[in-house]
Chains A and B, each alone.
Chain A
Amino acid sequence: MKQMVMSFRRSLSARFVFLMVVCAGVFLVGSALFLMYQQSLVRSFEAAQQKLEQKEMLTRQLDRAFTQAFFDVRGYFAFGRPVFKESVFQQQETIDQLLKEMEPLASLPEDERFLRDARDFFIRYFEQLVPKAVEAFERGDRRDVALIAENGGTAAVQSFQKRVARYHDALIDQMKQEYVRFKQKQQYSQAAFIALIAILLVLLQRLLRLAARQIGRPLQQFAVAAEQFAKQGEGAEWPAFDEREDEIGKLSKAFKMMMESIHEKEGHLLAQNEELLAQQEELEAQQSELEQALAMAERREQELARRNALIKGMAQSLDKKEVLTSIIDHLCAIMKAERGIIVAMDGEQTYASFGLSAMSVQRFLQQLYNGLEHRLLETKRAFAVRRELPMFERGYHDRPLHSHDLFVPVLSPDDDIEAIIVLSRFGAAFTDEEAAEAEQLGKHISISLQKLTLYEEAEKDRRLTEEIFNHLHEGIQLVDLQGTNRLMNGRMKEWFGAADDGWDGMPYAKWKQQLCALAVDERTLGDFFDQAVFGSADQLSVMMYELKEKRVVMEVYAAPLYRGEAKFGTIFVHRDVTKQAEVDRMKSELVSTVSHELRTPLAGILGLAELLLNKPLAPERQRKYVNAIYQEAERLTALINDFLDVQRMEAGRQTYRWEPVDLVPIIEKIIDAEKMGTDIHTFSVLVETKRTMIRGDSERLRQLFANLVHNAVKYSPDGGAIEVRVYEQKGCLCVDVRDEGLGIPAEALPHIFEKFFRVDNSDRRRIGGTGLGLTIVKEIAKAHGGEVTVVSEEKKGSTFTVQFPLAPVPQEVN
C-alpha cells in the first residue's frame, strides 16, 4: 500500500491510470446492476401477466359453457329433442371442470368471491332449476316450466351472466394496471442509470481539471521560461517545481542543470568565436591575393592561347595565303591591333590583311619600297610610329585622329627579311615590350614561312614526279608486303579502270581478283601475282597475258623493292606489247611462209635429183626429171629474187635511179616479149595522152609492168584480150592493165597485195607463182609516189590501175 502511494507520488502517469480505472469500474458496476434490475422487472411482469391471462381465458370459457347450457335448455324446451338435453349435461361437466381449474388461480379476495358465486349458481341451476323444469317439461306441464322460469330462473341466469361479465372486465382492468406499474418501474430505473452516468462525467471532468493543473500548467511555465532563456540567455526566471518527485520535478531539475551548463559553455564559445573571426579576416586577405594572381594567370593563359592559336594556324595549312591570313588575324588579336597586313617578300608578294580595304592593300603594296617600310629593310628591327590619319581614313570622325603603326620584320635565320608585318591601332601607342614581343613572334612566323617554302618546293617536285609517273606508257603498281595496293599510276588505272577511286589501300585479294577478271587466263596471272608478292624469288619475273575485252597483249614484270636489306614491297610494271607481239607473230609467220615457199621447190629438186642419181632410168624419164628440176630451180631463183626485192623495198633499202622515163616504150617492149609466149591472147596498147613521161627508175617500172602483164596472161589461161591503156586523170598518169581471165573473188581482193597471198582456187593453183609479184608492184608504185588499185569480177577478168603523179615528181629516195 505504501509502495503504491509512493509510486503515485512519483509518477503522474500511474496516478492518471489509477483514476481512469476507478471511473471505468464504477461505470461497469452501475451498468451491470441496471441491467439485472431491468431483467427481473420484466420477468415478474411477465409472470403476473400470464396468470391474469389464464384467469381471463378460463372466465371466457366458463361464460361460453354457461351460455351454451342456457341455449341447449331452451332448445330442448322449444323442440324437445333429447340431443339438447344430453348437451346440457355435457356442459355441466365442462363447467364443473373449469371451476376446478380456476380454484388454484384465485389469489385475490375478489377471485374467491367470484368462484363462490359461480359455484353457487352452478349448483342451483343444474341441480334445482334444470331438473325441475325438465321434469315439468317431460310431464308436459308447460305452465310449470314457465312458472319455474318466471319464479327466478331467468332472473338468476341473467344476474349470473352480468356477474361473469363484471368479473371479466375486472380482470382486464387488472392487466392494464399491471402493465402501467411495470412501465413506471422501468422509467425509474432508467432515470437512475442516467444519473449514474452524469455523476461519472462530473467525476471525469474534475479529474481532467486536476490533470491540467498538475501537468499542463507547469509545462506552460517551462515553455515560457525556456523561451525566455533562449531569447535572453541569462536572467530567465525558472519556476520552482523541484520539490515535486514526479516527472515534472525531474524535468525541472534537469533543465536547471542544462541551463547552468550552457551558461558555463557560452563564455568559452565566445572566446573561440573571436579567434575564428580573426582567422577569417586573415583568410579573406589571402583570398584577394590569390584572386589577383589568378586574374594574372588568366591573362597569361589568354595570351598563350592566342599565341598557340597563332602557331597552330601557321601549322594547320600548307597554303601560303591561308597561313598568312591566319597569322595576321591572330597577330592583330595578340597585339590588340585594329588593322594589320603581312606581305611575304617573295616574288609574288603574297599578302594577307586584317581590317583593310582592297584599295588600301593595293596602295600599300605599290608603295612597299618607297615608304617607311624601307627603314625596316635597312634596320631589320621593329619600330613604331604615330601619325595623323588622313581624311579618307577618319570615317565619320571630325577631329584629327592618330594611329600608331608598328612595323615588324620577319627575319630568316640568315637575317634576310622574309616578310613585313604592319599593325595599326588607334588607342594606346605600342610599347617597347610589345615591339620586342612582335619581333619575337616574327621569328616563329619566319620558321613557318620557311616550312612553307620547303613544302612548296617539295610539292612542286612531287607534282612533277607524279605527272611523269602518271604519263608513263607503262602501268605501274606498288604493293606492300601484305600485297595491299599502295600506289598506282594513271596508266594503270586507265587500263584496269572501273574502280577509279577504290584502288588506294585496296587489299591484295580484291585488286588481284579485279585485275585477273580482265585477263584471258585468270589463273596464270593470279599465280604470277601470288609468286611475286609472297614468293621467295628475289629476281625479276616476267609474264605475258591478254586482256579479254580490249584484245590487248600485255607484259608484266614484277620486282621486289628493298630498303636496305629488308624487302618492303613489290613493284609491278605492265606494258602494252600488242604491237610488238603482232610484229613477232608476223615475223614468225613470214619465216614459216618463206621456209614453206622455199622448201616446196627444193623438195622437188632434191627428190628428182636423188632419183636420177640412184636409179637407172629411161632417157625420156631422165629428161622429164631434169626439165622439172630446171623449172623448180628457176622458180626458186625467181622466188628468192622477188623476196629479196620485197624485203629491200619494204625496208626502204631499194636503190632507185631517178630519171625522166617514158612509160610507153617500156610497156610496148614487155608486150612484145609476152606475145612470144602465147598464141591465144591478143594484145593492145592504147595511149590517150601525150604526157607519158614520169620521173622514175626505168628498170623498176619495167619490173612493175612486166609483173602486171605477165599476171594478166597467166591468169587468163583460156586466152582473151589483154589491153593496156595509158591516160591522164586528175593530174595523174594512169595505166590500166585489163584481162578477160579468171578474175579475183571479192573476199580475196583486200589481200592480193599482201606478201605470199595467193587465191585458193584450183584453176589458179595450177598456175605457178611466188605470191610476191603484186607486192612488188605495190611497193614500186609507192616508191614513185603513186598507187595501184584493182577492179575485178570473177570469171570475167581484172583491171589493175597504176597511178603516177605527173608533177611534182617524187624526190630521190635513199
Chain B
Amino acid sequence: MSESGHFRWGLRESGGGFVLGWQMADMMKQGEEERLKQILIVEDEEVLRMLAVDLLTDEGYEVDEAADGAEALARLRERDYDLIVLDYMLPFYSGLEVLESIDCHCPERRPKVIMLSAKTGPADQGRAWAAGVDWFIEKPYRPTEFVKKVNEILHETDGHELSS
C-alpha cells in the first residue's frame, strides 16, 4: 500500500542516458535506525493546519505548528527542522519573508521547504522558486500526494546515497 511503501521519482544514470524509474525505499527500516524527522507546519488557516498536522503525524513525523510568520521564526530559533511546510500568504510576514529571514539570520539551519499556496499565478510561483523552495503545492491539494511529496523530499539525500 502506498502508505507503507514510499515511492519517489528518481534519476539513475544508465549507459549513455538517464532512465526514469521507480525506486523503492523502505521507510520503516530507516526510521528504526534514525531519529524521527522533524517538520514545522506554518499555516494561518486553522482547518488546513489541523489537516497537515494530522497527515504528517500519522506518517510518523514529529510535527510542530505555527499560525503565522512571527511564530514560525520563533519556532525556528528554538530548534532545527528537517522540513518546513510554509503557507505563501501569512499575516505579519509572508512565507517568502520568513524564508528570507532564515537565509539572513541562520542560513546553516535552513531546512527543506515545501510551499503551499492558494495563489496560483505564475508570478507567485516564480517568486517562490526563486526563493529556493524545494517544492510548491497549490491549494487545494490531495493529502496523499502531499504526503508522498513530503516523504520524497525528506529522503532525497538518502536516495542519492543509495544510487551512488
| Chain A contact residues, CB within 8 Å of chain B | 592, 595-597, 599-608, 610-611, 614-615, 621, 624, 628, 631-632, 760-762, 765-766
Separation of A614 and B143 alpha carbons in the complex (Å): 10
B140 near A592: Cβ-Cβ < 8 Å: no
Known contacts A604-B47, A761-B91, A765-B68; decide if A599 and B55 are in contact (CB<8 Å).
no
Binds A, one of B75-83, B113-121, B150-158: B113-121
> Contact mask B29-58 → A, CB, 8 Å, 1/0?
000000000000000111110110011001
Give A608 to B47 CA distance when docked, in angstroms: 9
CA gap between A95 and B152 in the complex, in Å: 180
Q: Are B140 and A603 closer than 8 Å at their CB atoms?
A: yes
17 of the cross-chain contacts (CB-CB < 8 Å) are A596-B118, A597-B118, A600-B45, A600-B48, A600-B139, A602-B139, A603-B139, A603-B141, A604-B51, A607-B51, A608-B51, A610-B144, A611-B51, A621-B54, A624-B50, A628-B50, A762-B67
Check B70 for interface membership: any CB of A closer than 8 A: yes
Who on chain B is nearest to A613 by CB? B143
A608-B47, A608-B51, A628-B50 given as contacts; is B91 within 8 A of A762 (CB)?
Answer: yes
Say yes or no: B120 contacts A595, CB within 8 Å: yes
Q: Distance (Å) between the CB of B60 and the closest chain A CB?
A: 14
Contacting residues, chain B, for A760 (C-beta < 8 A) = 91-92
Extra A-B contacts (9), CB below 8 Å, given A603-B139, A624-B50, A765-B91: A596-B89, A599-B138, A600-B48, A603-B141, A606-B142, A607-B51, A614-B144, A762-B92, A765-B44
**Are B143 and A596 within 8 A (Cβ)?**
no
Bound CA span A628–B53, Å? 14
Cα-based distance from A621 to B58 in the complex (angstroms): 12
Q: Contacting B140 at CB < 8 Å: which of A606, A628, A761?
A: A606
Please give me the residue from chain A that is nearest to B88 by CB atom: A596
The residue in chain B whose Cβ has the minimal distance to the Cβ of A597 is B118
Nearest CB in chain B: distance from A592 CB, A:
6
Q: Which 3 A-B pairs have the closest CB atoms?
A: A603-B140, A599-B118, A604-B47
Q: Residues of B within 8 Å of A, CB-based: how many?
A: 29
When C-beta atoms are compared, the residue in chain B nearest to A632 turns out to be B47
Which B-chain residue is minimally distant from A599 (CB atoms)?
Answer: B118
Q: How far is the CB of B155 from chain A (nearest CB, A)?
A: 22
Residue of A nearest to B2 (CB): A614
Q: Find out whether the CB atom of B143 lies under 8 angstroms from the CB atom of A610.
A: yes
Residue of B nearest to A758 (CB): B91
CB distance from A468 to the nearest CB of B (A): 42
Q: Which residues of A contact B51 (CB under 8 A)?
A: 604, 607-608, 611
Of the candidates B44, B139, B143, B144, the one whose C-beta lies within 8 Å of that of A599 is: B139
Q: Tell me whether B67 and A602 are in contact (CB under 8 A).
A: no
What's the Cα separation between A760 and B161 when bound, in Å?
44
Q: Does B119 contact A592, Cβ atoms closer than 8 Å?
A: yes
Give the chain A neighbours of B71 by CB distance below 8 A: 762
Q: Are B142 and A610 in contact (CB under 8 A)?
A: yes
Q: Which A residue's beta carbon lies closest to that of B51?
A: A607
Establish whether residues B46 and A766, one from each chain, have CB atoms under 8 Å apart when the complex forms.
yes
Chain A proximity mask over B123-162: 1 for CB below 8 Å, otherwise 0: 0000000000000001111111010000000000000000
List of A residues within 8 angstroms of B91 by Cβ: 760-762, 765
List, in ascending order, chain A residues with CB within 8 A of B143's CB: 607, 610-611, 614
Q: Mark B85-125, 1 if CB is under 8 A from A, else 0.
A: 00001011000000000000000000000000011110000
Tell me which residues across on chain A come within 8 A of B138, comparing CB atoms: 599
Verify A604–B48 contact, CB threshold 8 A: yes
Which interface residue of A602, A606, A621 has the most chain B CB atoms within 10 A? A606
Q: How far is the CA of A98 from the CA of B39 in the complex (A)?
A: 178
**Complex Cα gap A258–B89 (Å):** 141
Known: A631-B47, A760-B91. A611 touches B55 (CB 8 A): yes
**A596 / chain B contacts, CB cutoff of 8 Å:** 89, 118-119
Interfacial chain B residues near A761, Cβ < 8 Å = 91
A607 contacts B118, C-beta separation under 8 Å: no
Which B residues are in CB contact (< 8 Å) with A621?
54
Contacts of A615 in B (CB 8 A): 58
Q: Which of B67, B68, B120, B141 contacts A607 (CB 8 A)?
A: B141
Q: Complex formed: what's the CA distance from A251 to B146 in Å?
A: 153
> Of all chain A residues, which has the CB nearest B124?
A592
Most interface-central of B55, B89, B139 (chain A CB within 10 A): B139
- The distance in angstroms between the C-alpha atoms of A600 and B55, with both chains bound, is 17
- In whole Å, how far is B125's beta carbon from the nearest beta carbon of chain A? 12
Task: Provide the bound-state CA to CA distance between A766 and B91, in Å.
Answer: 10
Cβ A604 vs Cβ B45 within 8 A: yes
Judging by beta carbons under 8 Å apart, are A607 and B144 in contact?
Answer: no
Q: Taking CB as reference atom, which chain A residue is nearest B142?
A: A610
- Interchain CB contact under 8 A, B140 and A602: yes
Whether A611 contacts B54 by the Cβ 8 Å rule is yes
User: Chain A nearest CB: distance from B74 CB in Å?
Assistant: 12
Whether the Cβ atoms of B48 and A607 lie closer than 8 Å is: yes
Q: Residue of B at shortest CB range from A627?
A: B47
Distance (whole angstroms) from the CB of B160 to the closest CB of chain A: 30
In the assembled complex, which residues on chain B have CB atoms less than 8 Å from the CB atom of A765? 44, 67-68, 91
Chain A residues whose CB sits within 8 angstroms of the CB of B58 once the complex forms: 615
- Closest-by-CB residue of B relative to A598 is B118
- CB nearest to A588 among chain B residues: B121
A502 to B80, CA, bound (A): 68
User: In whole angstroms, how far apart are the Cα atoms of A552 and B150 in the complex?
Assistant: 46
How long is the Cα–Cα vector from A603 to B139 in the complex, in angstroms? 6
State how many angstroms separate the Cβ of B120 from the closest Cβ of chain A.
7
How far apart sit A9 and B104, CA to CA, in the bound complex (Å)?
A: 146
Bound-state CA distance A621–B71 (Å) is 26
Residues of B within 8 A of A606 (CB): 140-142
CB distance from A787 to the nearest CB of B (A): 29
Give the shortest distance, in Å, between A434 (CB) and chain B (any CB): 91
Cα A602 to Cα B67 in complex, Å, equals 19
Nearest B residue to A610, CB-CB? B143
B70 A603 Cβ-Cβ under 8 A: no
Contacts of B50 in A (CB 8 A): 624, 628
Q: Are B70 and A762 in contact (CB under 8 A)?
A: yes
Tell me, in angstroms, the Cα distance from A595 to B92 when the chains sit together: 21
Chain B residues closer than 8 Å to A628, beta-carbon distance: 47, 50
Q: Which of A600, A615, A628, A761 has most B Cβ within 10 Å?
A: A600
Do residues B121 and A592 form an inter-chain contact, with CB atoms below 8 A?
A: yes
Q: Which residues of B contact A614 (CB under 8 A)?
A: 143-144
CB nearest neighbor in A for B92 = A760
**Chain A residues whose CB sits within 8 angstroms of the CB of B119 once the complex forms:** 592, 595-596
How far, in whole Å, are A603 and B120 apart by their CA atoms in the complex?
13
Find chain A residues with CB under 8 A from B92 CB.
Answer: 760, 762
Q: Which of B55, B92, B143 is the most central at the interface, judged by chain A CB atoms within 10 Å of its CB?
A: B143
Of chain B, the residue at the smallest CB distance from A631 is B47
- Closest residue to A602 on the B side, CB-wise? B140
Pick from B46, B47, B70, B91 the residue with the most CB of A within 10 Å. B47
Return the chain B residue nearest A605 by Cβ. B140
- Tell whether, in the assembled complex, residue B46 and residue A600 are in contact, meaning their CB atoms are under 8 Å apart: no
A596 to B118 Cα, complex, angstroms: 5
Report which residue of A596, A621, A624 has the largest number of chain B beta carbons within 10 angstroms of its beta carbon.
A596
A388 to B15, CA, bound (A): 129
Which residue in chain A gives the minimum CB-CB distance to B140? A603
In the complex, A618 Cα to B89 Cα: how many Å?
32
Residues in chain A near residue B46, CB distance under 8 A: 766
A624–B53 Cα distance when bound, in Å, is: 14
Cα-based distance from A607 to B92 in the complex (angstroms): 26
* CB atoms of B54 and A762 under 8 A apart: no
Chain A residues whose C-beta falls within 8 Å of the C-beta of B70 in the assembled complex: 762
A597 / chain B contacts, CB cutoff of 8 Å = 118
Contacts of A599 in B (CB 8 A): 118, 120, 138-140
Whether A603 lies near B48 (C-beta < 8 A) is yes
Is the pair B118, A603 in contact by a Cβ cutoff of 8 Å? yes
Residue of A whose beta carbon sits closest to that of B44: A765
Q: Is the CB of A766 within 8 A of B118?
A: no
Interchain CA distance A615-B48 in the complex, whole Å:
17
Known: A604-B45, A608-B47, A628-B50. A595 touches B118 (CB 8 A): yes
CA distance A565 to B151 in the complex (A): 68
Tell me the minimal C-beta distance from B119 to chain A in angstroms.
5
CB distance from A207 to the nearest CB of B (A): 140
